[in-house]
Structure 1
Amino acid sequence: MSKFEYKRLKLTNLLVNTENYRYDPVGSQIEAIHVMVREQKLKNSGHKLYNLALDILNYGLNPSDLTIVSPWSEDNNLFIVHEGNRRVTTLKLLFEPELFPPEFKHLQNKFRKLQTQYDLSQFEELMCVVFQNYDEADHWIEIKHTGEMEGAGTVRWDTEQQERFKANKGGNSSAVFQTLELISKGNYFDKDTKNNAQLIGVTNLERLISDPDVRSFLGIQFKKNKVTLEKPEKEVAKGLTKIINDLASKNINVNDIYYKQDRLKYLETFQEHEIPKNYPEDEDVKDVNKSVKEREEQIYNIDPEKDVSRDPEQDKPKIEKTKAVSKPISTKRKYLIPSDFVVRPKEDRINNIYRELKQLEVDRFTNTTAVMMRVFLELSIDYYIATKQVTGVDASKNLNQKMTAVIDFLEKNNILTRKELQGARYVLSSKTMGLTETLNAYVHNRFIHPSETELKTTWDNLALFIKTILTD
């Protein structure tokens, strides 16, 4: 067992190690300081030694991490620093800013300013651990700097453990850990999903929810360091449940979600029941999975415990499955097609155009988006006419005629209600943006210039219509 003692030593008697493992050996103290300064420069023009100086001046030296030294063979009053060269260099620069390399004038001035703002007298002497030679100190330096050594060395906290520490100290945990907390405490996640959420690595989950399109699809946002829900929690749970279980079962890995286009492609794998919906507050949404009692309370807005005057059987609403219309999506999004709009066209050409449209940034490719939206709409309508045998119209008719026929077919066969078809009818009747003639003009008239907002608004009006005709 190595022998050592604790001593308070003068900073001026400590020698920065000229054979520090952080860099190649140098020939003098000033060279050792200069190379340390140069090695500690940050890419963003900041500097690690300056950050360390601020921390030392505000909190003092770390009492759990003392400087390790041994006597210099040529003078026993001087000591070579084996562990703690960064902090010793930083303190020497605080006392003598003239030691900076000549190209670090700006940093030198910052240290001079610190020198005038703080009392440095408390750092004139440092508590050190003194070994007789480097070999005796070698073991302790090794277990600190060379990894876990199967548990003998320093076992660093992983990302998840660091986040728990931050949260416990009252700091804001990251979006990914707030999301995991939502899952652990949520009422709409089953036991398996909650267990899986504790087992998965957080890196891939973080990669997903750091993507604004994925967050929009799920219905979560990260505002002011806090995760907020923009869709009902029950709906958000659908998407998160699939993601957690896909990660836990290795159905997806980093290669499946590494790039933006990969993440958008992954969202295409969600089945209809896994896609979070955004039910508008002003609609009487009739969910077939709700009990009759729940539907009555929703439609009549009554408290069954207080309203005893109503006959439960009187005016009972007809129970039927209806389609829920999503709340219009903000036109501030980057792409024409919102991330939570998912269809799976069976025709290869329509599917290829759909996937390309999902990746077009409207502000960058406005004309391309306009032309391809027009093509996508007509091909989708042609497909529906052919597969559903819509009478009175065929592919030879113009877009206005074909779209009118399909709208009438959807309403006549109770596939969509008149109200649900209002958006598509608006595109037909509008005298400004969205007019089918304007869609044609995007292709054929060189004097018509589509705008980003017009295209997104037109899509939002057509979204339910398009989804219906491309969904069997």
Structure 2
Amino acid sequence: MMDPKYTEVITPIESIDLYVANPRFDPVEDQRSALHAVCIDQGSKLIQLAEDIVHSGLSPIDIPMVVQIDGHSRYTVVEGNRRVAALKLLAQPTRIDEAPLAEPLKKRLKRLAEAFKVKHQDEVKCVLAASVEDAKHWIQLRHTGENKGAGVVSWDGASTARFRGNSPGYDALEFVRIKLAGACDAEVLDRFPVTNLERLLGDPAFRKSMGLELKGGQLTSTIDPQTTAKNLYVVMQDLQQPDVTVGHVYTKDDRKAYLAKIKPQLTSGTPTKESWKIEGRGNAESSPNSPASTAKSASGKKGSLPSSKTRNHLIPRATTFPVDATKANDIYRELRKLDIRLYPFSVAVMARVFLEISLDLFIQKHKLKGALAAVAGKQDPTLRHKVECVRTDLLAKGAEKTVINSAFTKFTSTDSPFSIGQLHMVVHNAHFHPDAVGLIRAWDSCEGFFLALWDRM
């Protein structure tokens, strides 16, 4: 029975205003600014949400909450601003052109808007709260963690796996996450559409080209594990590109065309004597060839690979570097101990310092000042110049190209929480807040770079 302070309403999308005091960003003055602020804050996540809305509709267990402020007849959404923003862009595609989104994301959003126009009505079911104060309790429980059990209690990995049951796509994802730990982009694995991979794995022609078999929901391979993981990762990287949608793998002909495109990027592996099961974490951790049993730190010690979703420290405690410079070693040890979820600013600032000190010591050790000057040209060397200089030297010294280039992308991409730009904003932008979970995942993509650097000191 619903409390009389809350009632259900069904209203057109255009009669709902975004909340200009949304806690996700600094207060803004008008609706256009609020929509743009959501776009800037969410980026590609907003497009993922729009795609889910187009394909599945709005979640019936997560209804937007609205209020009527100062007696106005219009509604203001106080919980569900991301969903309403996505709906406004889908319902009025003219807004997409001026939205502060990358062009590939705009193109993807416009295609989704066409599908939305055909499949959906322009009305939204909402819960109307009597006031903002009446809504605050529920908003707090929704966004501030478990609250000793009163809030949203997330599933752990085992719960998620049990819910998903036999999922070849999920098994493939977790297998790649472990097998290529440190040599792949963790964010790619976190954001790519598993359902699209499931469609591909359900196609016999695609499986044959990958050396895969599917029997009774169990995915198996007939080529060596390392090649299997690398080929799956190639597909995962491609599937998360903004211009690749469900329409590219939906029908048999779509998948045939997709296979023709991706096949030249796949590697021929060594056939195994018999097929072996791809069973996600369970298989990867027990396999004698898995990273969990064979990966070593720079000091030669074996260690486990903690999940970035449950870790509270930027640097996993199982990761050890041979850091013999006093200041760098002290910072490194603090980064392994500080709880990033409690001290995100401290960790972000120290991570930037650790990056620059590591680069400076490497440049000094290998006498690269001349090479650095050549990279910088007529400018004073910046942190980016140092990254470029060390990257070039590590590759010349035989460091694994995929590992070094993946980290370089993180250091230089504007979207990466570990980018030079975002680490700089933590220090110099009064309104910028570091993303703790994003930093952990970005570190996992950059860790191999630091290992390669310190291993050569």
Q: Could you say which structure has the greater relative contact order, defined with CA pairs below 8 angstroms and 6 or more residues apart?
A: 2
- Compare CA radii of gyration and give the structure with the larger one: 1
TM above 0.5, yes or no, is no
TM-score range, shorter chain: 0.3 to 0.5
Normalised TM-score (structure 2): 0.40
